[in-house]
């Protein structure tokens, strides 16, 4: 199992677990909260079959990566991604982020520029700026995030159960587009995440990515479900597509937050087509 070291906390290394499969042009897939790189399974197989080199990794605190108590902010997440890209000596690579992972795509380009980056993909992603402020009236009220943080701190296992109901729109799609077992598998991954990370990531969801997005100067695809209850399309995907010059917006009809699973065929078709252009 390959790891890249991204730093240290006291006597221990902060190691990021990654997987690197296939050959061809590389695409780095960045997962959402509170999952791991394994959550891309429906995309990985299709991208490998399309002749891509597919790299997934687990964000610090999640999956098989180290679980430090520090570094839960997007500047550090972007540095972690940069450690991986540098370690693998990637050139001409695409970055695709789902949910929280879209923040890494934005901040990576905002911080390091687009040198070496061929394309960017935002799927059900957190940018541009979720927090409602006087100059950002389209955002989500701060009390919503406070409530989430309280619920995670009180009993993160119970929180995850409720969270995944809205992650998959289970009331509508359970037994049709997602199985009880798939939801349970997501819960199992979430339960294995660091308690610190589970809580510390919540305020990162309303970091301001608007400046980062102005630096995105590569072909960009924005994919978002119009029934997303976690990151409503009006507060996120639609605005991201407007802020990036020339971005292509694809709206998945009836798509919940986790369209990478429930609407995998549609997502994969768009992804393979876009990356192949």
**CA–CA separation, 70 and 60 (whole Å):** 9
Biggest alpha carbon–alpha carbon distance for the chain? 49
Q: Do you find a cis peptide bond into 128, omega within 30 degrees of 0?
A: yes
Residue 271 and residue 43 in contact, taking contact as beta carbons nearer than 8 Å: yes
257 is catalytic: yes
**Marked catalytic residue, from 15, 36, 198, 257:** 257
Active-site hit among 99, 186, 194, 198: 99
Catalytic annotation present for 99: yes
Backbone angles phi, psi at 124, to 5 degrees: 45, 45
In terms of DSSP H, where are the helices of the chain? 41-49, 74-87, 100-112, 142-167, 170-173, 180-191, 195-200, 210-214, 237-243, 259-262, 264-276
Catalytic residue among 194, 228, 236, 263: 228
Q: What is the DSSP letter of 62?
A: S
Rg (alpha carbons) of the chain, rounded to whole number = 17
The two three-digit tokens of residue 51, written as one number: 């002749």
Distance CA 155, CA 93 (A): 39
**Catalytic: 118?**
no
Question: Of 36, 39, 44, which is closest to residue 16 (Cα–Cα)?
Answer: 36
> Known catalytic residues?
99, 228, 257
């Amino acid at each position: 199992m390959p790891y890249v070291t991204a730093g240290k906390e006291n006597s221990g290394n902060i190691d990021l677990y990654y997987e690197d499969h296939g050959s061809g042009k590389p695409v780095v897939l960045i997962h959402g909260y509170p999952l791991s790189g394994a959550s891309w399974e429906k995309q990985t197989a299709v991208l490998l079959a399309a002749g891509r080199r597919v790299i997934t990794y687990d964000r610090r605190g999640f999956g098989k990566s180290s679980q430090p108590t520090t570094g839960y902010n997007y500047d550090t997440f972007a540095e972690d991604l940069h450690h991986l890209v540098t370690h693998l000596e990637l050139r001409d690579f695409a970055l695709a982020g789902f949910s929280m992972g879209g923040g890494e795509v934005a901040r990576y380009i905002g911080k390091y520029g687009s040198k070496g980056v061929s394309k960017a993909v935002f799927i059900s992603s957190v940018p541009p700026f979720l927090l409602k402020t006087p100059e950002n009236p389209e955002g989500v009220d701060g009390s919503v995030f406070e409530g989430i943080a309280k619920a995670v701190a009180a009993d993160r296992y119970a929180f995850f159960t409720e969270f995944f109901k809205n992650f998959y729109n289970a009331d509508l799609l359970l037994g049709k587009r997602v199985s009880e077992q798939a939801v349970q598998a997501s819960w199992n991954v979430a339960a294995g995440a660091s308690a610190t990370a589970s809580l510390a990531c919540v305020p990162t969801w309303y970091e301001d990515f608007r400046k980062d997005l102005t630096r995105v100067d590569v072909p960009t695809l924005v994919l978002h479900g119009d029934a997303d209850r976690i990151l409503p399309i009006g507060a996120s995907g639609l605005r991201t597509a407007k802020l990036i010059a020339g971005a292509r917006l694809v709206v998945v009809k009836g798509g919940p937050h986790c369209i990478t699973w429930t609407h995998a065929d549609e997502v994969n078709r768009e992804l393979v087509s876009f990356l192949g252009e």
